[in-house]
Amino acid sequence: MGYIASKEGLQDFYLDSKIGKEQLELNRNTGAFVAEAIRRSATGISTTPGQIEGMKAIAATLTEKGYSEAQIAQLASTGFEEIGKSLEPLTKLENIYGVKADQDAIQKQLQAEEFLGTASELRARRKQQEELSFKKKSGTIGASRASGGSLGTRSTLGAI
């Protein structure tokens, strides 16, 4: 499991049952958290080894805050549901407005936003770009008022 690094660590583990109980609780909480991510893999949620390491860190943070296994499972269930809804559209927007999207990086940002309260700058930036692109007026860019401005402002009366 990686938490016993030396011979002394092994002795400490067996001499202090609290260490084992804490690790067991952390492992159960992590398992509940990751299980919810796996259940939502059809929505694009990735469970690659890199993603699971990030999920372990989030589960450890939630465990330190005093959340129980059931609370973590419930939080992960609703959180990964929301991430699944946002992941594909945000990845598409990143492909349109940014560089080639790294879906794993986007998922990590969404997880931090959902579970740790860290604001996702990428989501805010892409949402703003998407809104601005639909507010643009139709017509030619840079057309002067003398030449009629946008395509929709010039009258066709008497043109024939």
Per-residue pLDDT averaged across 66-95, rounded? 90
What percent of the chain stands above pLDDT 70?
62
**pLDDT class of 71 with cuts at 50, 70, 90:** very high
Are the C-beta atoms of 45 and 37 separated by less than 8 Å?
yes
Per-residue pLDDT averaged across 47-62, rounded? 92
20 three-class SS: helix
4 by Cβ neighbours in 10 Å (0-12 / 13-18 / 19+) ranks as middle
Mean pLDDT of the chain: 77
DSSP 43: G
66 three-class SS: coil
117 three-class SS: coil
**From residue 47, how far is each of 52, 152, 153 by CA, in Å?**
6, 50, 53
Would you kindly state where each structural domain of the chain is located, as residue ranges? 7-122
Are the C-beta atoms of 40 and 98 separated by less than 8 Å?
no
Per-residue pLDDT averaged across 49-66, rounded? 92
**Token pair of 129 as six digits:** 């770009």
**DSSP H helical ranges for 40-152:** 49-64, 69-97, 103-116, 121-135
Distance from C-alpha of 160 to C-alpha of 145, rounded to nearest angstrom: 22
Q: For residue 92, what pLDDT is reported? A: 84
Residue 34 clears pLDDT 80, i.e. is over it? yes
Q: For residue 112, what pLDDT is reported? A: 87
Q: For residue 152, what pLDDT is reported? A: 43
Q: For residue 150, what pLDDT is reported? A: 43
